Amino acid sequence: MAAAEPPIQAVVRPLDLAQHQIEVTLRLPDSAMKKGAVLSMPAWTPGSYLVRDYARFVDRVEAKDGQGRALPVQKVDKQSWKLPAASGVSLSYRVYGNDLSVRTNHIDGAHAHLVGAATFLYFEKDLARPYEIRFEGFPSDWKIATAMPLADGAYAAKDYDTLVDSPVELGTFREHRFRALNADFELAITGAHNGDEARMAADAEKVVTEAGKIFGGFPFDRYVFLLTFSPKAGGGLEHKASTSLLCDPFIFDKPEGYWRLDSLMAHEFFHAWNVKRLHDPVLGSFDYTGENYTKQLWFHEGVTSYMEDVIVLRAGVVPWSSVAKSIASGWTRLSQTPGRFEQSLEESSYDAWIRGYKPTEFSANSSIDYYGKGQLVGLLMEGALREATGGKAGMPELFARLWKERGEKGVTDADIRKAFRDISGQDPEPFWDAFVRGRKELDGSQLERAFGLKLEAKAPWESLSADDQKDPEAVRRAKAWTGLTFGNGATAGTVIQNVIPGSPAESAGLANPMEVLSVNGWRVATGTEALARFADADPGGTVEVIAANRGRVFATRLTVAENPTRTWSLNADAAATDPQKAAFTAWTGQPFPAPEKRKGLKAP
Ligand SMILES: [Zn+2]
């Protein structure tokens, strides 16, 4: 057995924290520099499927040898630098980080959140080489939180993938620790907020415990939540033994704030299995030079969004009513996305790099979100498995089976279908053909058969308040539909944001980014005003529209139609059977919800 390669020894120092700058020095092992070498910055970071070109944040790249003599450094592509053969080589560079997100560096006078891919160069042909990282010169009251183990003052990563997978938070965060099942957990919280950290930590403990139970324990000894609060911030990024979370500080005035954070924690934590360990073979080891294509993001992301619901329900930290609302609004969103007939889940996954992360105003017409639709498809898979097994097994069992059978060996679509077949005894192909590879409308009847839950649609005029429903004029106005959408906000004006394909607006020749100036002779200043003037007409009625296109004004006529959009809700069926109720409880860990009393049937 060959001895382990000597590590790259990295030292990270502040240059000017307020100006978002650090300096990184890499001591490159002599054995790797005998013929010279090329070192690169990644184009992207795993979990966030967009080429971000982290090299654009790196400059002042300088090298010297063991005698302190400057070495020539030659840039050989957008993200790579070539060094000559030498011994005792130190390579240093400045890193700029001023983007508070979970996949980029953020450095200021209060903290530094460092992402491996945005901070450290790698040997072009040697991703297996270990790293040792020291942090020197930071404010004396700053602490360090990371999943990397600390030994002799240095944080160790066994290879570049591990380094990139181990974000580091430096600052004055507050620490909460707990033990669950077979592992130690740390919650490092940065930034002020209006919540109760003891509750956040208690919820985190319940969440990780329910996730761990699915797999019979955790695949690590220690796990770190890096949670940062900052106004309007949001998002999470998964790692094997940690996660970076961003959260708005003002959400805890309502219980929904905790539910949102709990769901985010559950999502990122479930990724410790789904995508970080159970993954398409393409997603690790990674190619950092460019796009890594997979058709499985619907499963790795969308179904993780689904499992997040299962975990928070079983943990008892989010009520069923909230989860039911979120499922129903996801169903509504998809039903109002014309792109559902244009792009499959597999296609959406594959094109994440060029579509999901780069939306245009036309995206809703041409594509779907693999998170949103994937979440609903995960729910339908749950229904199919529960129905086939009399409620006994579902998606948690599917994941447990994949974990047992595949572990970290890689999970292909065929493996997922096999697990589905093994549990249900059913041919998975029709389901996949319809909803994963295909673009069929989702069928909610599965939920009724499996759990006694009904997806129910309401037209806009049926969603009016009880008083408005008695007002024929309000009902009539709610029926008017043009297929136009406008931007929100006072400054958005009447610039058309999107036109639904096949809608009256399309027939009238209207399109993004034309501006609607008047409707039936009335000057309109906002999208809301424009839609109100369209609603003056009955469905079938025609109105005159004056619009502008690239500075030229023109007139057209638009025939208002009856609104075909529907809003969905997910309700307990009063006629649900005992086996359906038992399946619901096996699935969610919650009692079957009491069917909602229909309003207005009886006087109180
Ligand atoms: Zn995710």
Compute the distance from residue 237 Cα to the ligand 1 centre, in Å.
Answer: 7
Give residue 599's pLDDT band: very low, low, confident or very high (50, 70, 90): low
| Span 185-228, pLDDT tens digits | 999 999 999 999 999 999 999 999 999 999 999 999 999 999 99
CA of 236 to the centre of ligand 1 (A): 7
The pLDDT value given to residue 400: 98
Quote the percentage of the chain above a pLDDT of 70.
Answer: 98
C-alpha 408 to ligand 1 mean position (Å): 18
Mean pLDDT of the residues in the chain: 96
Q: Distance, CA 297 to ligand 1 centroid (Å)? A: 9
* Tens-place pLDDT, residues 528-571: 999 999 999 999 999 999 999 999 999 999 999 999 999 999 99
- Residue 316: C-alpha distances to residues 183, 184, 322 (Å): 21, 21, 12
Q: Which amino acid is at 96?
A: Y
pLDDT, tens digit (0-9, with 9 covering 90-100), for 51-63:
999 999 999 999 9
- Separation of 267 CA from ligand 1 center, angstroms? 6
Question: Whole-angstrom Cα distance, residue 16 to residue 9?
Answer: 22
CA of 205 to the centre of ligand 1 (A): 19
| Ligand 1 centre distance from Cα of residue 301 (Å) | 5
Of the chain, the end-to-end C-alpha distance in Å amounts to: 81
For 464-519, what is each residue's pLDDT tens digit?
A: 999 999 999 999 999 999 999 998 766 779 999 999 999 999 999 999 999 999 99
Is pLDDT above 80 for 600? Answer: no
**DSSP letters of 192-261?**
--SS-HHHHHHHHHHHHHHHHHHHTS-SSSEEEEEEEE-TT--EEEE-SSEEEEEE-TTGGGSHHHHHHH
Looking at residues 388-399, what average pLDDT do you find?
98
- Mean pLDDT, range 427-443, rounded to an integer: 98
Q: Report CA(354)–ligand 1 centroid distance (Å).
A: 18
Q: How far is the CA of 212 from the centre of ligand 1 (A)?
A: 17
Q: What is the pLDDT of residue 342?
A: 98
Q: How far does residue 89's CA lie from ligand 1's centre (Å)? A: 39
pLDDT at 595 over 90: no
Cα(421)–Cα(430) distance, integer angstroms = 12
Report pLDDT digits (tens) over 84-138.
999 999 999 999 999 999 999 999 999 999 999 999 999 998 999 999 999 999 9
Q: What letter represents residue 599's amino acid? A: K
pLDDT at 603: 45
CA of 349 to the centre of ligand 1 (A): 13
Q: Which two tokens mark 253? A: 């005035």
Report the separation in Å between the CA atom of 268 and the middle of ligand 1, taken as the mean of its atom positions.
Answer: 6
Distance 264 CA to ligand 1 centre (A): 9
Angle at 122 between CA 120 and CA 124, to 5 degrees: 155
Q: How far is the CA of 371 from the centre of ligand 1 (A)?
A: 8
Assess contact for 533 and 543: CB atoms under 8 A.
yes
pLDDT of residue 602: 47
Find the mean pLDDT for residues 280-290.
96
In 271-362, where does DSSP find H-type helix?
297, 303-315, 320-335, 345-350
Identify the pLDDT of residue 596: 76
Tell me how far the alpha carbon of residue 278 lies from the centroid of ligand 1, in angstroms. 13
